Structure 1
Amino acid sequence: MLTLEERYRKHEFQLTDLEEQIIEYILSHRELVVGMSIQNLAKETFTVPNSIMRLMKKLEYEGFTQLKLRLKDELSALKKEESSFRQELDKTWDLVDEKMIGQAADWMAASQRLLVFGAGAQAAISELLVMNIKAFHKEVTFSEHRHENIAALQHFRKKDVVILLSQSGETEQTLDLAVLAKKQEARVIGISHFGKSRLSNLADLMLYCYAPKEETNGYNTTNFVPMAIVGRLLVEAYRKRCV
């Protein structure tokens, strides 16, 4: 089950500035909000109860009462649950937003050029995505080499699409491509572990998975299956628009 913060990250591209302010207040005052009425929360956030109810629907709560119950559960958890493979998959499915995937697929279908990139472990996922897209999009490219990607992006224009994969959303090589893509007025789709990052700030649209960074004896042992799942869902949605 997603926490409030996770729901926030899932739907952040659909929220207004006021709705983001309400969520930030709740996240900063969880214990107070649990005992508040919706009228009191509206007063504290300079809004009205109806606006809070609309926000609850966007966050997929049945209402304000359910939000308070979920917050209480979060506060009463004395020990953080250890991450597990099943938990990461379950949370990834909870984070999947079909509308956002559909929007991304529409952009891909409308593009003349398409570039997919992920550094390190994400390179393998990026290459697989390209292999699955090539049957329908002849101008899709992938390269592990920075100079080749930069050269390709020089030809990108409006409606062209750049898909960038980064577990942390902070990979410098990936961010450099995002900046260049924005200069070319191309659309940037990011895929990462949920949370605020420089990639989420640059991207026009974010697709999230649940893949927290994990290291063992100095080796990166992060589970990249969740990211591959999101990538596959995007490919399937795109292919439906091409047949």
Structure 2
Amino acid sequence: MFTNEVITTFNDLEMLLYKYIMENREKVVYMRIRDLADEAHVSTSTIMRFCRKLNCEGFSEFKVKLKLLIDEKRPNPAIKSNEYVLAEFFERTQNKKFMAKIEEAASVIAKTKTIIFIGFGSSGTLAEYGSRYFSSVGKFSMYIKDWFVPIHTDLNSSITIALSVSGDSSFTLSHVQKLKEQGSKILSITNNEQSTMAKLSDINISYYVTEEWIGSMNVTTQIPVIFILEEIARKVYEINREGK
């Protein structure tokens, strides 16, 4: 319900209301609109506008959706141990086809001048890590953290490494398209080669581990992504060292 796209549309009063609701959600589902307005120090019209932005016809519908959101987050499902996940990953990917993809990516990266990393959420954290790791082995890399940075330059001598578990993140996809239009090659690392991002890419490396969720949060392990990034970086280093 509270997606990033919706939250970015909130004005100051609506953001104040949002913060109050998040801190008092168990209480809010039983409140009248006037009570919430008084407690959050906003008007009832602000609350109604807030509800409409969440595709709710009124405050009553909003409370129903909020209650469902609370109930969704209550269960504590078991998640797999990293030992199991790693065994699953290596069983599926340690083969000639997978390693050929790693070699192909390293070969292309070795010939480029600049590496651009992009990712959102936990993938963004790993994109920043990847940028530092590649820079450490002698390949100039940068991580785009500002999603509103303008992209108007010739990027023909660059490669973009896009990270996304689902491969369908709207934020990352929009940047992939912009960078591709400016001439950057695209290497995507996703969990599924049938994703939109994988299909947009010049090279895709997919790691295929079982996706895991706690409520609306994707907690799929990112260990395979770290392995892939470091393995490519090491091979790029070896290619450049042998070339010198």
| TM-score category, normalised to shorter length | 0.5 to 0.7
Distance (whole Å) between structure 1 residues aligned to residue 219 and residue 181 of structure 2: 34
Matches within 5 A, 1:73-92: 85-92=82-89
TM-score scaled by length of structure 1: 0.59
Deviation at 1:174, TM superposition (A): 1.0
Aligned positions of 1:58-137 closer than 5 A: 85-93=82-90, 94-96=92-94, 97-135=98-136, 136-137=138-139
Determine if contact 1:89/1:210 at 8 Å carries over to the other structure: no
8 Å contact kept, 2:168–2:196: yes
Bigger drift between 213-222 and 193-202 goes to 213-222
Q: Which residue of the partner structure matches residue 180 of structure 2?
A: 182
Secondary structure of 2:189's counterpart equals strand
Q: CA deviation at 1:84?
A: 5.2
Q: Distance in 2 between matches of 1:206 and 1:84?
A: 27
TM-superposed deviation, 1:178? 1.5
- 1:100 aligned counterpart, secondary structure: helix
**Cα distance in 2 for residues equivalent to 1:83 and 1:215:** 11
Determine if contact 1:105/1:238 at 8 Å carries over to the other structure. yes
Rounded to whole Å, the distance in 2 between the matches of 1:83 and 1:195 is 23
Q: Which residue of 2 aligns with 1:238?
A: 236
Note the 1:1-243 alignment, pairs <5 A: 85-93=82-90, 94-96=92-94, 97-135=98-136, 136-138=138-140, 140-148=141-149, 150-151=150-151, 154-243=152-241
Q: Check whether the contact 1:210–1:226 (CA below 8 A) recurs between aligned residues.
A: no
| Aligned mates of 1:175, 1:206 — CA distance in 2 | 14
C-alpha distance 183-218 of structure 1, shift in aligned 2 (>3 A): closer
How far off its partner does 1:213 sit? 2.6
Once the two structures are TM-superposed, the CA of residue 137 in structure 1 deviates from its matched residue by 2.0
- Provide the C-alpha distance between the structure 1 equivalents of 2:193 and 2:133, rounded to a whole number of angstroms: 28
Q: Residues 49-83 of structure 1, C-alpha deviation per residue, up to 9 Å, x if partnerless?
A: xxxxxxxxxxxxxxxxxxxxxxxxxxxxxxxxx96
Q: Which has the higher contact order (CA 8 A, sep 6+)?
A: 1
Structure 2 CA distance for partners of 1:184 and 1:90, relative to 1, 3 Å: same
Distance in 2 (CA, whole Å) between partners of 1:235 and 1:204 is: 18
**How far apart, CA to CA, are the structure 2 residues paired with 1:127 and 1:99?**
25
1:107 and 1:159 in contact (8 A); partners too: no
Deviation at 1:205, TM superposition (A): 0.6
5+ residue gaps, structure 1, are 1-81
Match of 2:15 in 1: none
- 2:88–2:209 Cα contact (<8 Å) kept: no
Q: Distance in 1 between matches of 2:147 and 2:176?
A: 12
Give CA deviations for 1:3-37 in whole Å, capped at 9, x if unaligned. Answer: xxxxxxxxxxxxxxxxxxxxxxxxxxxxxxxxxxx
Name the CA distance, whole Å, in 2 between partners of 1:217 and 1:197: 22
Q: Is the 8 A contact 1:156 1:181 kept in 2?
A: no
Counterparts of 2:195 and 2:187, CA distance in 1: 14
CA–CA separation in structure 2 for the residues paired with 1:143 and 1:157 = 14
Q: 1:168 to 1:226 in 2, by over 3 A?
A: same
Contact 1:193 1:208 in 2 (8 A): yes
